Amino acid sequence: MRAISSMATRHVLADLAAAAAQTGLPEVEIESVGGVDAAKRVAAGEQVDLVFLASDALSRLAADGHVDPATVRPLVLSQVAVAVPSGSTEPAVRPEGAGFDDAAGVREALQAATRIGYSTGPSGTALVQMIDDWGLTASVVHRLVQARSGIPVAKLLADGEVDLGFQQLSELVGQSGARILGVLPADCAIDTVFSSAVATNAVDPAAAQAVLDFMGSHAAAPIKLAHSFGVPQ
């Protein structure tokens, strides 16, 4: 069985697919690429059985008939976190509540940073929009550094290219050279729901649906949490 996903969920999906196979469900070969590229390939008619993308992208594919709308379901919740260089090669660990108390602290950090790293995809777009909503674009735009495709923001931090970084928590955890301060506070949180669906050209839609049913079950929740994703309500 073939699947395509964005890069942000590649590790958790690998473990979810392995756990599903252990229950006797079909094995799933998942190709993880940039979310925009994944959506374009599905829209172009490439044969896949399962699609895992940010909810808005998957909704567009459903509206255009590339995935079965009846099978679309939220799979994981991803929160954007803030990090700084660690000054160490030790992998970053999951934060335990440390970070900014409110949006004011985040704004101050943005204004104080020399170079600000952010990711591609919906979370990066949301960050840029938030900066604009705060009226800070003119003062920080020349200090914004977007990570190149396939390069995590943690690497920009580790290499000294930026001194403040924003990326989905699941992408920062376990990366060397970065120290996670915490997720964005509630008054400026950037959350992305990644959803799943059966492609309309799936070879065996019923088997594909069975895999999704497992991935969305309570039994799969601990795997998602272990990868620093939330479970959508």
Identify the three-state secondary structure at position 189: coil
Checking if the pLDDT of 97 tops 90, the result is: no
If residue 53 lies in a helix (H) or strand (E), which one and from where to where?
Answer: strand 50-54
Residue 80: half-sphere exposure toward Cβ, Cα within 13 Å: 27
Domains by residue range for the chain, with CATH:
2-76+193-226 (3.40.190.10), 78-188 (3.40.190.10)
Average predicted confidence (pLDDT) for the chain:
92
Question: Per-residue pLDDT tens for 44-86?
Answer: 999 999 999 999 999 999 999 999 999 999 999 999 999 999 8
Going by pLDDT thresholds of 50, 70 and 90, the confidence category of residue 89 is: low
What mean pLDDT comes out for the span 93-118?
84
Distance CA 27, CA 21 (A): 5
Mean pLDDT of the region 141-168: 92
pTM: 0.82
Fill in the amino acid letter for 107. R
Residue 96: pLDDT over 60 = no
The helix, strand and coil proportions of the chain, stated in percent and rounded to the nearest 5, come to: 45, 25, 30
Asked if the model's pLDDT at residue 216 lies above 90, the reply is yes
Rounded to 5°, angle at Cα 209 from 206 and 215: 150
Nearest to 226 by CA among 170, 188, 182, 177: 170
- Asked whether the predicted pLDDT for residue 198 surpasses 80, the reply is yes
Banded model confidence at residue 9, pLDDT cuts 50, 70, 90: very high
In this prediction, residues 129-134 reach a mean pLDDT of: 97
Euclidean distance between CA atoms 197 and 216, whole angstroms: 11
